[in-house]
Amino acid sequence: MNKLRLWAPETEEAFVLVEGQKIEMVKSGGSWWETPSEPAKHGTSYRFSVNGRDFFPDPASFWQPEGVHGPSCFIDHSLYNWTDSNWQCPPLGSAVIYEMHTGTFSEEGTFEGAIQHLDYLVDLGVTHLEIMPVNSFAGRHGWGYDGVALYAPHEPYGGPEGFKKLIDKCHTKGLTVILDVVYNHLGPEGNYLGKFAPYFTDKYASPWGEGINLDGPYSDEVRSFFIENALMWMRDYHIDGLRLDAVHAFVDMSATPFLEELANAVRKLQVSSGRRHFLIAESDLNDPRVIRPADIGGYGIDAQWSDDLHHSLHALVTGEKQDYYSDFGEISQVAKALKNSFVYDGIYSSFRKRKHGRTPQGLPGYSFVVSLQNHDQVGNRGFGERIGHLCDPLLQMAAAALFFTSPYIPMIFQGEEWGASSPFLYFTDFDDEELAEMVREGRKKEFASLKDREEDIPDPNAEETFNRSRLSWNERDQKTHSEMLSWYRKLINLRKENPCLLDGDRENTEVRFSEEEKWILLERDRIVTVCNFSTEERTIELEQTGSKGKILLKSHDDLRLLERSLVLPPFCTGIIRK
Amino acid sequence: MNKLRLWAPETEEAFVLVEGQKIEMVKSGGSWWETPSEPAKHGTSYRFSVNGRDFFPDPASFWQPEGVHGPSCFIDHSLYNWTDSNWQCPPLGSAVIYEMHTGTFSEEGTFEGAIQHLDYLVDLGVTHLEIMPVNSFAGRHGWGYDGVALYAPHEPYGGPEGFKKLIDKCHTKGLTVILDVVYNHLGPEGNYLGKFAPYFTDKYASPWGEGINLDGPYSDEVRSFFIENALMWMRDYHIDGLRLDAVHAFVDMSATPFLEELANAVRKLQVSSGRRHFLIAESDLNDPRVIRPADIGGYGIDAQWSDDLHHSLHALVTGEKQDYYSDFGEISQVAKALKNSFVYDGIYSSFRKRKHGRTPQGLPGYSFVVSLQNHDQVGNRGFGERIGHLCDPLLQMAAAALFFTSPYIPMIFQGEEWGASSPFLYFTDFDDEELAEMVREGRKKEFASLKDREEDIPDPNAEETFNRSRLSWNERDQKTHSEMLSWYRKLINLRKENPCLLDGDRENTEVRFSEEEKWILLERDRIVTVCNFSTEERTIELEQTGSKGKILLKSHDDLRLLERSLVLPPFCTGIIRK
């Protein structure tokens, strides 16, 4: 049963080094090799070679107990005792997602450390825990997007056993688990895949070097490598859904694109397992094809991240105009994003110097995951500033109110809910000093526009940079933090108690705004959210409110509901029921 | 009105040299420049510059009377007196296409020379004349796929005026005109586009170097450059349809792909002009998305070339197994191609080393153009052999019968219909000797597998290679040629006289075959085509034929229709009416 298997289509021989013993592998159909007998038990340590001299970790290793350069270790997944047998995750439309980075979320920086905070998340109202990549990467600390052993949970986090325990605990507490997986590239250190097979192609470039071979010779098996990975997380780790990193980096000219094939495979698994599973894509294409059903030409992915609401609100509350924020900053864009998800739906983008996107016609709101913050929007800044470090807390509260009453699926980035003081910096822990230096300099160069501060850009490879990014849980008791936390708690409650906020009905979403007076009104059925982004008090007329109107939430005591209008102090937000 | 206009988005100034006078151009909105006054009349000679020193032809030049390196010449298209005012082309489904290369079709090798043979084509039963690329390319002779002045008909063929006359004559005689256009690359000599704007990108590679910039910065205008070209041919030259060269070479990650945008633009033109226009794509993707309607996720192209029927019949009748023919050779594949168009519809291809294609579900037969020969299948061989040079004439007749009774649109390559003796070789006429040598050596290398004959590979740049490829019209009177011509004439007539052959109904297309006995039977409503590809006589049972059965066509006198069967001599074909 437990034969070790290797895919190596362009070699004449293959070997495995099992506990010190070199064994020649035999062909097992197609371009696969396997051990002649069954030497693999739970814990068997091994490496592969295609020349009998140079041995490397298994590209599909289940476990890398000594790190990405060390031997692979076989795991018998059937040995784990799951306690979540009745688990079934709720529909995505009702989700409140919480994005977590295992290394910085808890003091311990491990899966076990995260378990300690699950009750807090449940109490907060979170339904879905989204875990940033856990596949093994070089070094101890990192965001996880430079993973190289895609099947093996990172050992410093707690390895395979620890990860299973975290997921099991989540399910026991009613939390759905989403895992962030990176199929568009592998990290620069410890990537031995090319030693065995053509996983990569020079036909297309990706931002991280060679593209993944999704449509060239041998691409069927390359696709299988990633699809099997997705299925493994769902089958052997009980992961409910996957977040697919940067699908816009896939170049794929095949008649059945990789994403569609992946979505089909997940649907099949659902049928056979009886458990609900789903896929969420990160895409900056603003292309509804990603999330349209396959029978009308889509890839059939369940939902996608949609950045335009973030960008328009971020630019509005911070006044920032650098990079892609140059395309945003107007209230009308916030309004369009609330109604249409994509602001750039085929119109010209100055930043991209071309038309961008396409109208997501007919797609429900719960096809889109939106957030006021996420690891990228915070961490891809020179100093890892969160939104609360860049604007008045009242403005963060206003923006958050719009996210939580929008037709989309809201996502919180760890610590956002209490306006955490810690930044989320870009950190690495490469052993390779040359690589570390390259990343360090690249980072400085990227933020060279931050005049006078370029030299201060934290060194990604420094331990201190990682440490500074860790959440300070104790600060939650301080007044400003606890007020923010209370606001988020109320917003989440509001969402849960009003099903009309969860129906994803974009047609029934009405928005009014004044560019000049800087206010916006979002109406979804009987729930009306009104935000004043200006520094002056605003009186906003309300239609059909009358005497039945009731304030559900307000970010400032001075907010007043009159007979047919709402009076909002500067930066303030009110949510009323008509 | 007639201002000269130049698109140059990344320059601070632009100049035009008009009849010896240097004029500074002015910005005219966006990244366009124009002449300050109206110096352009019909015949005005000019060149553009972005530095005031180096002057080059207009990327969108209407006329290059002195070749691709010479000055551009303005044309007032409204001056031409068209005589085809009532012209309206018939639906594509009823087409019999004839592919013509202007330089080798007639003795003169010009548009005027082609006009002399139009009556012959009409008499043969041809409905659509497909003209290989006529845009200006370097030198006198060439296939046309190395064009560089995409808006300017090749001067040695007769230039813009001559081309208009040819199209006008075609329409007068009832012939629809299809022009082959190349938007996936420009030729290696005389390409000055990069001097003015980012038409190309290094993000993706094409088989001919840098890819076309269809989704990067400034790509809106690059797309417009090609779309305007398509519209010009239809509007100013009265071209009915375009054949888009190798659309599989476009890499385009945008939410509205270039091909879809192009198809939309052509549909709009139809509405405004009241004339029917259409697009045919050359695609080797076997991807129905190309020809599916846009509302179900397709690009909305009217039809595409489909090679699998060619490949399966070519491999069958020649026994060839090199290159992509290694994927073919079985009768079952001919059968699948006749029913399904794509043999590779998601199944594994040994040649490509991956799964290929997708089922073209629901698409009618007239979405596919098929041919037993075309310029590529003949010319991309070391010695430019036509099918008749490689197999018994009876086998060509058998294959042709299947093409003309298939549910697809049949296309003939010039001279195929009389089994022309002339090859169609790969020929060029580059001025640049280094380039010529590179092409010469590349050609030898490509056919290095042709043992002992490598040295004989004709030199593409030699005048002789071009001359040998010219059709010999007189040979049509010789017996073997006239017999083949008569067969094609009858097949075309049969197609016209039996509307059931034109309905494109693949559901109602039935195929029976025997791999072992090497025969195939194609049944479309009451018309049954039976081919014996073996060297022995075969008796094939017919269902429901009875006494009413009638032989419509037979390729050999000894073919006999019995009560419930058909007796076919070796290599023979019969077409009967049930």
Average pLDDT over residues B429-451: 88
Say which of A189, A240, A245, A287 is annotated catalytic: A245
> Which residues in chain B are closer than 8 Å to A254, comparing Cβ atoms?
285, 287, 354-356
Cα separation of A154 and A185, whole Å?
17
pLDDT at A368 over 70: yes
- A558 annotated active-site: no
pLDDT at B546 over 70: no
Measured in angstroms, the CA of B245 and the nearest CA of chain A are apart by: 16
CA nearest A31 in B: which residue? B353
pLDDT of residue A565: 92
pLDDT at A310 over 90: yes
Average pLDDT over residues B215-236: 97
Contact A354 B220 (CB under 8 A): yes
| Position A563 confidence tier, pLDDT thresholds 50, 70, 90 | confident
| Position B202 confidence tier, pLDDT thresholds 50, 70, 90 | confident
> Which residues in chain A are closer than 8 Å to B215, comparing Cβ atoms?
354
Residue B377: C-alpha distances to residues B278, B314, B385, B424 (Å) = 24, 9, 9, 10
**SS3 sequence of A39-87:** CCCCCCEEEEECCCCCCECCCCCCCCCCCCCCCEECCCHHHCCCCCCCC
Residue A521: C-alpha distances to residues A266, A335, A533, A551, A575 (Å) = 39, 9, 11, 14, 10
Query: Which residue in B203, B353, B357 is closest to A255 by CB distance?
Result: B357
pLDDT at A94 over 90: yes
Kindly report the average pLDDT of chain A as a whole number. 95
- A438 or B452, higher pLDDT: A438
| Position A209 confidence tier, pLDDT thresholds 50, 70, 90 | confident
- B385 annotated active-site: no
Cβ atoms of A552 and A575 within 8 Å: the answer is yes
pLDDT at B545 over 60: no
Cβ atoms of A2 and A38 within 8 Å: the answer is yes
Contact A358 B285 (CB under 8 A): no
B151 residue type, one letter: Y
Q: Which 8-state DSSP code applies to residue B347?
A: E
B231-254 burial, b if ≥16 CB within 10 A, otherwise e? bbbbbbbbbbbbbbbbbbbbbbbb
Coil/strand/helix, residue B424: coil
CA nearest A204 in B: which residue? B204
A56 residue type, one letter: F
Average pLDDT over residues B420-446: 93
DSSP string covering A138-187, please?
SSS---STTEEEEEEE-GGGTHHHHHHHHHHHHHHTT-EEEEEE--S---
| Position B547 confidence tier, pLDDT thresholds 50, 70, 90 | low
Range in A28-37, B3-12, B253-262, B544-553 with the lowest mean pLDDT: B544-553
pLDDT of residue A30: 81
Cβ atoms within 10 Å, residue B348: 13
pLDDT at B456 over 90: no
Q: pTM here?
A: 0.95
Kindly report the average pLDDT of chain B as a whole number. 95
Residue B14: strand pairing partners: none
| Position A544 confidence tier, pLDDT thresholds 50, 70, 90 | low
Average pLDDT over residues A133-148: 97
pLDDT of residue B544: 64
| Position B1 confidence tier, pLDDT thresholds 50, 70, 90 | low
Contact A298 B296 (CB under 8 A): no
Cα separation of A439 and A427, whole Å?
10
Measured in angstroms, the CA of B336 and the nearest CA of chain A are apart by: 18
Mutate to test the interface with A, among B284, B353, B359, B363 (most CBs of A within 10 A): B353
| Position A206 confidence tier, pLDDT thresholds 50, 70, 90 | confident
Domains of chain B, each with CATH number or no CATH: 95-186+219-422+430-499 (3.20.20.80), 507-577 (2.60.40.1180)
B329: left (phi over 0), alpha (psi -120 to 50) or beta: left
Cβ atoms of A74 and A43 within 8 Å: the answer is yes
Average pLDDT over residues B486-491: 98
pLDDT of residue B79: 95
pLDDT > 90 fraction of chain B, expressed in percent and rounded: 90
How would you list the strands of the sheet with A527-532, edge to edge? Answer: A509-514, A519-524, A527-532, A573-577, A550-554
Identify how many contiguous H helices and E strands chain B contains and give both numbers.
Answer: 13, 29
Contact B353 A218 (CB under 8 A): yes
pLDDT at A205 over 90: no
Question: In which residue are the tokens 């410093």 written?
Answer: A156
pLDDT of residue B39: 77
Question: In which residue are the tokens 């509205």 written?
Answer: B256
Contact B346 A248 (CB under 8 A): no
Mutate to test the interface with B, among A258, A355, A358 (most CBs of B within 10 A): A355
Helices (H), A274-366: 308-318, 331-340
Measured in angstroms, the CA of B115 and the nearest CA of chain A are apart by: 41
Contact A255 B217 (CB under 8 A): no
Range in A452-456, B46-50, B155-159 with the lowest mean pLDDT: A452-456
> Which residues in chain B are closer than 8 Å to A248, comparing Cβ atoms?
253
Question: In which residue are the tokens 């050779």 written?
Answer: B329
Say which of A180, A240, A252, A282 is annotated catalytic: A282
Contact A217 B354 (CB under 8 A): yes
Could you tell me which of B267, B277, B288 has the C-alpha nearest to residue B241?
Answer: B277
Cα separation of B552 and B566, whole Å?
13
| Position A210 confidence tier, pLDDT thresholds 50, 70, 90 | confident
pLDDT of residue A1: 60
Cβ atoms of B127 and B137 within 8 Å: the answer is no
pLDDT of residue A545: 56
Measured in angstroms, the CA of B232 and the nearest CA of chain A are apart by: 23
Residues of chain A with a CB closer than 8 angstroms to some CB in chain B: 202-205, 215-220, 248, 251, 253-256, 285-289, 292, 295-298, 346, 348, 352-358
The per-residue pLDDT for range B308-323, each reduced to its tens digit, is 999 999 999 999 999 9
The per-residue pLDDT for range A381-399, each reduced to its tens digit, is 999 999 999 999 999 999 9
Range in A73-87, A395-409, B35-49, B168-182 with the lowest mean pLDDT: B35-49
pLDDT of residue A546: 57
pLDDT of residue A177: 98
pLDDT of residue B11: 94
Cβ atoms of B7 and B31 within 8 Å: the answer is yes
| Position B394 confidence tier, pLDDT thresholds 50, 70, 90 | very high
In terms of residues, how long is chain B?
Answer: 578
Cα separation of A259 and A481, whole Å?
41
Average pLDDT over residues A171-186: 97
B83: left (phi over 0), alpha (psi -120 to 50) or beta: alpha
pLDDT at A203 over 90: no
The per-residue pLDDT for range A519-543, each reduced to its tens digit, is 999 999 999 999 999 999 999 998 7
pLDDT of residue B181: 98
Cα separation of A170 and A165, whole Å?
9
pLDDT at B206 over 90: no
pLDDT at A26 over 60: yes
Mutate to test the interface with B, among A299, A354, A356 (most CBs of B within 10 A): A354
Range in A41-45, A484-488, B56-60, B329-333 with the lowest mean pLDDT: A41-45
Residue A394 corresponds to which tokens in the numbers above?
A: 């009242």
